[in-house]
Amino acid sequence: MRSLCDERGEVRFGRFDEVVEEIDYGRCRLIDEYDHPVGRWRRHFGFKQFEFVGGLSEYIVFGCALVNIRYAGSAFVYAYWPERQFLEEFSFVRPLAWGMQMDQRPEDGRAHFISGGTTIRLEPGSRPHSRRLFAEVPARLRIDAEWDEVDPPTAPLRLCTRAGAAGWVFARKTAGQRVRGTLQTGSGEVDLERAGTLGHRDWSAGYMRRETHWLWGCLAAPAESGEVVGLNIACGVNETSFTENCFWADGERENIGLVHFDFDRANLMRPWQMSSADGRCRLNFVPEACHRERMRLGFLGLNFYQIIGRYTGELVRACGRALRLERRLGYAEWQYAKW
């Protein structure tokens, strides 16, 4: 599929097994809440886009995101050392997304962010169906890594849903693929492949709700029975008619129902529980560390927790077979954005 929009400019909704080459939002027809065509200002500043990549192993956990909300561009990158429970984290914000460029090709696009001496690039990898991250914070952190969606062969989640009366969101996600390359900080250097690192990718864009809140859970780890498992579950976003909730077993994607997140809002570092309405996801999550972003600037706001912790529980395949997980590393998020 070359475009998310059809020949009339209407956005296509649903899950897509085929590749969506481009999210050409400038060609999509937008009608506001009062039946008028959306003007140029709202069409430009209403479009939000982000990409997150992460890697998980018992030696190292890391994450990196680029976020373009038009009024500002931001980036973060961190490395967490589980044995020492030590987190090294770096965040950057530039007004009007200066120093940032992100194209609208979810499969093979390019994105970069430059701030002072810091450089972050996301681009096609050296192999087909791979993604490369290069991130360097001078004298503090350097990551050169590739996510390989052929190891194991992974069926991506591609999804487009409505967002409010006038918007829509497209997401492309995978979890459970091999990650190769190196990570180096002042705390040490890791060969990611030798460490057995498994990864997650998230490319999302669209006309999201002016005030957006979501909960999210993700892991990439071996099950007790040996399968490579990836998990992506969410609540509060991408739930209109279709959901993004799914897991992968050796690259094969299985969709699951709506997921309930149970947690202590006053203390997000207490244990969480995630359970799906169809009974196929039953997980406990125990936090260990947290990367946080917080901003209040008049008409813009952000309160974001990306928590690193350990999942225990079961994911049940469509055939009825349960995949058992014991203290496997993953992420959970609580996020509010006014953008």
Residues 289-302: what's their mean pLDDT? Answer: 94
Q: How many domains does the chain have?
A: 1
- Predicted confidence at residue 64, as pLDDT, reads 98
In whole numbers, what is the pLDDT of the chain averaged over residues?
97
Share of the chain above pLDDT 70, in %: 100
Mean pLDDT of 42-55: 97
The contacts found for 49-52 with CB under 8 angstroms, 24 or more apart, are 49/102, 49/104, 49/204, 49/205, 49/206, 50/202, 50/204, 50/205, 51/102, 51/111, 51/122, 51/201, 51/202, 51/203, 51/204, 52/200, 52/201, 52/202
Residue 9 inside a domain? The answer is no
Residue 7: inside a domain, yes or no? Answer: no
CA-CA-CA-CA torsion for 272, 276, 279, 282, nearest 10 degrees? -20
Please report whether residue 314 resides in a domain: yes
Mean pLDDT of 143-161: 96
Tens of pLDDT, residue by residue over 216-235, are: 999 999 999 999 999 999 99
Whole domain around residue 44: which residue ranges? 14-338
Q: Is residue 6 part of a domain?
A: no
Confidence of residue 297 (pLDDT cuts 50, 70, 90): confident
Q: Write the pLDDT tens digit of every residue in 238-260.
A: 999 999 999 999 999 999 999 99
Kindly tell me if the per-residue pLDDT of 40 is higher than 90.
Answer: yes
Domain-embedded: residue 170? yes
**Which strand (E) or helix (H) includes residue 111?**
strand 111-115
Is the pLDDT assigned to residue 151 strictly greater than 90? no
8 Å CB contact between 262 and 273: yes
In a domain, 3, yes or no: no
Sign of CA dihedral 266, 78, 205, 228: negative
Average pLDDT over residues 191-216: 98
| Secondary element (H or E) of residue 43 | helix 40-45
Provide the 8-state DSSP code for 149: T
Residue 318 has pLDDT above 90, yes or no: yes
* Domain at 83, CATH number: 2.40.370.10
Prediction pTM value? 0.97
Task: Tell me whether residue 8 is in a domain.
Answer: no
Residue 2 in any domain: the answer is no
Dump pLDDT digits (tens) for 53-91.
999 999 999 999 999 999 999 999 999 999 999 999 999
Reported confidence tier of residue 298, pLDDT bands at 50, 70, 90? confident
